Structure formats: C-alpha cells, structure tokens
Amino acid sequence: MSLINPRVDIAFKKIFGVEENKDLLISLINSIVSPQDQVSDITLLNPYNPKNFRDDKLSILDVKAKGLDGKRFNIEIQISDEADYDKRALYYWGKLYTEQLQSSDDYSLLSKAIGIHILNFISIPESPKYHNIFHITEKESGFLYFTDLELHTIELKKFMPNSHDKICDLITKVRNSLDIWLAFLTRHDLLKADKLPKELDEPSLKKALNVLEVMSFEEAEREMYEGHLKWLRIEANTLKKAEAKGLEKGREEGLEEGRSQGSKNKAIEIAQLMLAKNKPISEIIEFTGLDASTIKSLTN
C-alpha cells in the first residue's frame, strides 16, 4: 500500500505533470471533456520540476497543457475549501485564455481554454452531481455563444462520501473512465496494481498505482507534502467530530422527543378519564395542559 496520497497537490502534479506520465494526463483529460475536445497528444506548459521547491516554496501546483489543435487545459486539485474559490477558478481560466497571445497577435489565434478543478470538498451543494460543467449561455434560450469558455468542477466528496467504504462499495460507483480516476484519487489505499477487479482493470490506473508505489520526495518536496497532508487530516478529523456531535445531538433530541411524547400520551389518558366523568373542558385544560382542540377531538 502506498504511503503517498495523490490528493495532495504536490503528489498530484508529480504524477500528472511530468513528461514520462503524459499518457496518464491524456487519459484523465479525456475522461472529463466532451468527445469534441478529446486529445491524442499534449504539450506540458509547466512541467513538474523539483528545483522549483528548492528555489520557491510557493510554487504553483496546477498542471497546464496544450493539445495538438491549440486548446489549453488547466488541471488543479484543491485540498481545502478556500473563500471565493469560484472567483479563483474563473481567474485561473482568464489567465489560461489570455496568456496565449503576445501583444501584437490577432484575436483569431485564441483557442478554447478548459479549466478542470478537482475539489476535495463540496463546493456546489445545490447540485447532486459530482461533475459539473459550466459555460456562458444566453439567459432565456440557453444558446451557447462564447464557446471558448469551459469550466469543470469535480467534487470528490460527492463521489466517495464515506471513507469507510470497502472495495465492493467502490466498484458499485464505477460506471465510466472518470469514475476509475476518482477511485484512484479517493481510495488508492484499496487498490493494488496486480490485483485490480475487472471493473478497474485499466492500464492507466495500473501505471498510476505503480507510480505512487515508487514515488519519493526530496527534502523540500517532502516538507511541502507533509504540510499539505495536514490539511487533509485536519479536515477529516473535523468531519469526524462534526458527525459524532451530530449523532449525539440527534440522540439527545430523540430522547427529549420521546419524553415529550410520553408526557402527552399520559395527559391524553387523564383527559379521557375526566371526559368519561363529564368534567368541564376548562378543568381538563387546566389539569392536563392540553389545548381545547385536542380535548374536543377526544370527545368526538
């Protein structure tokens, strides 16, 4: 079992952002984009370089690539839920689109830019889907006019909300090539390259698992990896505490509701006895605390 977590951004870039693993990045991109935007080869625009971590510990860990037809791709995995992440995603897309041109270039040279954001948190609670695709469309007709803008959000927590699931639970979620990659990102700890179930028996996944097994970090890389891994652990512990608190609160509320219901049932029994003895409703209200409509319903 690998000790490296591919959801940590530095590990993610070391897997998908190097020349020798371009086939993995191509497979990941093609599992996300439409058939019209599939790529057969790519050029890495900011390949992973360990030297960056010795010189600059604030290195950007997104992966930028260009297809043969000029389309640009920006792939980023985001560990923690930061404020205004939607604005950041749009800003990244804007840079990806505009940096294609030099000052004297013609606008016709601009190619489609596709932002892909893999999120380790739920960013769009309004949508039950884990994969959402955004364009600019006309408000009333839905007509897609600005075709060069496309943003994808992939929320890992929606794909695999329960960290205690077993391999059989994981298999039931796999329906397409993107699901295979999400299985790798969320539960690589359950997978072994030489013992994959048929639903996950795919060459790119085998290679990615093998890359994880042999991955190592230099000192500066390891320092960043450990620091970012803490964010994942803190988030996981926070969720566990919230779940435990929620269960305890639910138990207390259930007990209180039970006590309340028991008291009401007892009051109804007393009211029925008083009604049988023709006691006035005003006296029954005072004695049991029940409202007049409840007592009248017992009379009926």
pLDDT tens-digit map of 41-68: 999 999 998 777 655 554 568 999 999 9
Domain that holds residue 122: 9-216
Residue 230 lies in a domain: no
Residue 45 lies in a domain: yes
Residue 188 lies in a domain: yes
- Coil, strand or helix at 54: helix
- Coil, strand or helix at 157: helix
**CA–CA separation, 193 vs 203, rounded Å?**
9
pLDDT value, residue 1: 44
**CA–CA separation, 249 vs 179, rounded Å?**
35
pLDDT value, residue 242: 52
pLDDT value, residue 104: 78
**CA–CA separation, 90 vs 97, rounded Å?**
11
pLDDT averages per 10-residue partition of the chain, 300 residues:
80 94 97 97 91 59 93 91 83 93 86 95 91 95 94 94 86 94 94 92 95 87 80 60 53 56 71 77 78 77
pTM, two decimals, is 0.75
pLDDT value, residue 172: 92
Number of domains in the chain: 1
Residue 94 lies in a domain: yes
Asked if 53 contacts 101 with a C-beta cutoff of 8 angstroms, the reply is: no
Q: Which residues contact 197 (CB under 8 A, 6 or more apart)?
A: 167, 171
Residue 262 lies in a domain: no
pLDDT value, residue 255: 52
Residue 247 lies in a domain: no
Residue 292 lies in a domain: no
Residue 134 lies in a domain: yes
